[in-house]
Structure 1
């Protein structure tokens, strides 16, 4: 897909885990291992943990249905860096579209030790096996709130989670953005988060950027799906 990411709103995302293996990762293991060796040579802080990759994604009325398969981070990054070569498989991840009481959005600047250094987007990340419930459902809202806490220090009781999801499809990426509000002005919320980051030995975020108008996010460091979300959000506010 080229051009602007496609945005749509769904009432719910129903996600389940299919136990592996992932055939692409099995077939490409030698290439994955070689690619991973290069990645960790450049950035030894990377860790080859387990993540979930979406093997199937379909819209059904006002909901999105996703099937995930576990894989290692090395396979996930190789697949990403090769441009998502298997069309039916994608990175389907949740993000906290964090908005302050004065209307400003709070975006994180990824730290230099991460796999996305310098990128600027909402707190969140690819789901992990820890997000799988005992009945096999993948708790994507739980994933978003966990990632929000890990990256910003904000606890679930400190924020308001609005209903529904905004889905942005951009090539091999499917961003699931949840409207999350904090009852603080943007500058105060940023100060609260920066206090948390300053106390962390190795925070995932290098900083917090406040966006008060869509043109402030029109830069290469901000992914297209975030820019599309912000344009829509500010346009809806104006209407």
Structure 2
């Protein structure tokens, strides 16, 4: 099992600056061929510009890192090939939506996505739309992804003051608990109605998780590790 380390922080210092990623430069032809193959399998994949991180540091309640621009094809190949270059990491925010009765709300990724069938909190790889000046605004990224995937806006929940940074291999998932005023079943119906109104929603369905027994192999390790800490602390309970 992948080793997991979780750091709780209250501030983020994420700078965006130009950098040529050696992996993306040296494996350009292989990456292009790999992405073409993946596109044949899933025609909806799009090779947009995204942000990855490097030089991650946790110190005195702060997470700091430098982010750089690359393309989704490079990220996908790097992931599919087992993260061969550890000079970079995939650092992304996740909105850990929690209902008023203690259920965490996860979405099942649609069949047309690169992570089909997996269960995640609302999230998305940071991109240039999340940059303010030379700083990555991860709070804005999470709010945008939550709204796109669930239809919920910041008026529908209270965002925690801290982030739980779940480090697993070459990934750092920055979890922010979002406490909603509605019950899990109400949120589930509301999100499902939002999905039904879309032509090609990113999510295929909604799953409520209330206790350890609800954890499944469809959840990435960074999701189950975070949820295990919540359940161990007695929040939430079934």
- Residue number in structure 2 paired with 1:58: 57
- Report Cα offsets for 1:150-208 as digits up to 9, x if no partner: 11111111111011100111111110000101100000011111110000011000000
TM-score (structure 2 length as normaliser): 0.96
TM-score (structure 1 length as normaliser): 0.95
- Residue number in structure 2 paired with 1:163: 161
- Structure-1 separation of matches of 2:2 and 2:75: 24
Deviation (angstroms), 1:109: 0.3
Deviation (angstroms), 1:99: 0.2
- Residue number in structure 2 paired with 1:235: 232
1:176-191 counterparts in 2 under 5 A?
176-191=174-189
- Residue number in structure 2 paired with 1:105: 104
- Report Cα offsets for 1:123-165 as digits up to 9, x if no partner: 112101100002x000001001100011111111111101110
Question: Equivalent residue of 1:237, what SS?
Answer: coil
Deviation (angstroms), 1:214: 1.7
- Structure-1 separation of matches of 2:80 and 2:160: 33
- Residue number in structure 2 paired with 1:133: 132
- Report Cα offsets for 1:10-66 as digits up to 9, x if no partner: 112211101233222111101101101110011110001011011221112211101
**Which stretches in structure 2 are left out of the alignment for 5+ residues?**
none
- Residue number in structure 1 paired with 2:74: 75
CA RMSD, 1 decimal: 1.3
Question: Equivalent residue of 1:77, what SS?
Answer: helix
- Structure-2 separation of matches of 1:221 and 1:56: 30
Do the aligned residues in 2 keep the contact of 1:112 with 1:118 (CA within 8 Å)?
yes
- Structure-1 separation of matches of 2:78 and 2:54: 13
Deviation (angstroms), 1:114: 0.6
- Structure-1 separation of matches of 2:20 and 2:197: 39
User: What is the aligned length?
Assistant: 236
- Structure-1 separation of matches of 2:163 and 2:81: 28
- Structure-1 separation of matches of 2:66 and 2:113: 26
Do the aligned residues in 1 keep the contact of 2:14 with 2:66 (CA within 8 Å)?
yes
- Structure-1 separation of matches of 2:116 and 2:132: 31
Do the aligned residues in 2 keep the contact of 1:50 with 1:70 (CA within 8 Å)?
yes
- Structure-2 separation of matches of 1:199 and 1:68: 35
Question: Equivalent residue of 1:178, what SS?
Answer: strand
